[in-house]
A and B are shown apart, each in its own frame.
Chain A
Amino acid sequence: MTVSSRPPLVLILKDSLIAGAISLVIFGPICGIILDGYTFNTDFKIPLILTSIVTAGRFFFSFFGLPKLPDLSRIHPLANRKPTVPDKIFLGIVFAVFLIFPFVGSKYWLTVMILALIYVLLGLGLNIVVGLAGLLDLGFVAFYAVGAYGYALGYQYLGLGFWGSLPFSALIAATFGAILGFPVLRMHGDYLAIVTLGFGEIIRIVLNNWLEFTGGPNGVGAPLPTLFGLEFSRRAKQGGTPFHEYFNIGYSSTYKYIFIYLALLFFVVVIITAVSRLKKMPLGRAWEALREDEVACRSLGLNHVATKLSAFSMGAMIGGIGGVFFAAYQGFVNPSSFTFFESALILAVVVLGGLGSTVGVVTAAVILTILPEALRDFAGFRVLIFGILMVLMMIWRPKGLIKVKRPVFLQKGKG
């Protein structure tokens, strides 16, 4: 906006006041009402400050004109998508925050964050199946259950510890993924969804009814994780030394959660790296091509059977790792943790985050786990708020929070 086209002062003032009034309406209830037990206090200092900032800002921009924005339509939509330095700094900061969190946050929030990271893992796993390969899976919780039970039963029957159990459970879950994959190879869309739904229920019902092997509804205990033979319990149970005795510090049950959190964070980072690389690898491209058009894939020589099975087992494997962490964190597993509602929640993570987008899935998983905790004051309305949020998301951002970016390929030398 140039100086010559500046609107008259009256209009500018009117405009600013309207903006201020709107912001007062928004900020008033959000920041001005403070809950105090069953009553609330009103405090209009903060909303008034915010409102005056908005009014002044609006006036400033109208009076001096907006800073000139680059013409977005000219920029090629896909140009310059390589990770720039600020991007890397941003990722570094996010990682540092996650890394420092267990040492500053309370134990309660630490457990919430562990759950959030478990959902990140599950979301990443399901994202491969639904987001990349386009196979709607409503029974993903089955692989989560297989992973969790793999840890608990592996300890009970085979004496596997936490670290031995991770590859073991991942492998078992991947095998189950392939087993599910075989009968559904020829199915698409709704039919596939129904079969996977059934598969999820079968696993839960088997776990519930096979009393001799799984303990049925009573569940099985899962051992605490260990670090190089150091245990996190008050007294050694698995034949090692307790962590606090080794380092000569007082016992605290928080150590266990800090350890699980950090180990989980490590796996999340590794898997995010792997998934983002997979997307630029032949296998990842084949998955996406399969989602787009199976007939065209076959006409190009891609084995659609192997591609689908690999997507199922890779996704199941990540879900299984999530399950192991869940069992380690709870110290106990029983079938009631693996209901259809879990599957729906994981699917919500993937859909809200944006099918195929890793950043979106991570964001959505963290939001969807923290939100119910933060909304505990409105316990009766939690599911309602959750539902409204979903509806609004689907109206405004049907493709998810984060739009999927495609990798750019430039020819070296020629540019």
Chain B
Amino acid sequence: MFIKNPILEIKDLTVRFGGIKALDKVGFKVEKGSITALIGPNGAGKTTVFNCLTGFYKATSGSIFLNTDDGRVDIVKILGEPFRLSDFINPVAFISRLRYKMFGGSYLIARAGIARTFQNIRLFHEMTAMENLLVAQHMSINRNLVSGLLKLNSFKEAEERAINKAYDWLDIMGLRADANRFANELPYGHRRRLEIARAMCTDPALICLDEPAAGLNPRETDELSMLVRRLRDEFNTTVFIIEHDMTLVMDISEHVVVLNYGQVIANNDPESIRRDKAVLSAYLGTGNDD
């Protein structure tokens, strides 16, 4: 499938855990402003792809680039990569690599514009829903210690703006009544939505949702698909989603990437994926195997 304006470019991404190749030369692109799904049987390597591109795993080899309005970001580089022989001749490259090695990390990826949610929800449990959303706005808030300790007006205004933004997101998710409740008191479905709200509070260009429909009932799943569309249509966020619920995937996504045993076996629009022989055999097994 031809992609004109990719927000995410993954090339030859390989990840090894000891002798196991979790990902083997995975390559695909995600169109800016699209809803793209990543599917595959259990253990195919979907979450590994997510963890690589949000910086929780380091790729063994390959490249990942993010193209936002602010420019092109080399994700492998800002995570800190091993030195190369050429670095010892070129001090500029050496220093930049050393800097990222020491101070780089996954938080830089979040700052570059990728937000994510987790398969097993990771909220700040002993904090309220509001606080969860305020922590997410850490980078855009007034972090000056002096103005905060003295409660200057600039601090109060920034804080109020952040609170308003958090309330807006709670409204979008239908969670206003839960604003000042502890995150671990909330029902499961609310926690899922709160986690999405928290990711969106970082103003990402690309949001990665890791199985957002897991554990939701059919009605909640319907609401989720409306919500995902809204994220894209109203907030211009590209959505990249891992999901097992095929109805949801076929319903909302414009582009589907299928992984099996760490390799991309199909990469197309949902209609073609539905009829793809390789995908069918990966999910259902081939007829002439036994």
List the interface of chain A (C-beta within 8 A of B): 76-79, 274, 277-278, 281-283, 285-286, 288-289, 291-293, 295-305, 406-412, 414
Contact = CB atoms under 8 A, between A and B. Distances in A.
Contacts of A293: 122-125
Interface string B168-210: 0000000000011110000000000000001100100000000
Most chain B CB inside 10 Å of its own CB: which residue of A278, A293, A296, A414: A296
Contacts of A79: 180
A295 B51 CA distance: 11
A295 B134 CA distance: 17
Interface string B136-154: 1011011101001101000
Given A293-B123, A407-B131, A409-B131, 17 more contacts: A76-B180, A78-B128, A79-B180, A281-B149, A282-B134, A282-B142, A283-B143, A285-B131, A293-B124, A296-B124, A299-B118, A300-B136, A302-B107, A302-B139, A304-B107, A305-B103, A406-B128
B36 interface: no
Contacts of B182: 406
A282 B143 contact: yes
B248 interface: no
Contacts of B142: 282
Nearest to B201: A300
B138 A301 contact: yes
B56 A295 contact: yes
B262 interface: no
A286 B145 CA distance: 13
Given A285-B131, A298-B107, A300-B135, A277 B149 contact: yes
A288 B180 contact: no
28 contacts: A277-B148, A281-B155, A282-B141, A282-B142, A283-B143, A285-B131, A288-B124, A288-B131, A289-B131, A289-B135, A292-B126, A295-B56, A295-B122, A298-B55, A298-B105, A299-B54, A299-B56, A299-B110, A299-B122, A300-B107, A301-B107, A301-B139, A406-B127, A407-B131, A408-B180, A409-B131, A409-B163, A409-B166
Given A278-B149, A300-B110, A300-B115, A411 B138 contact: no
Contacts of B179: 409
Contacts of B56: 295, 298-299
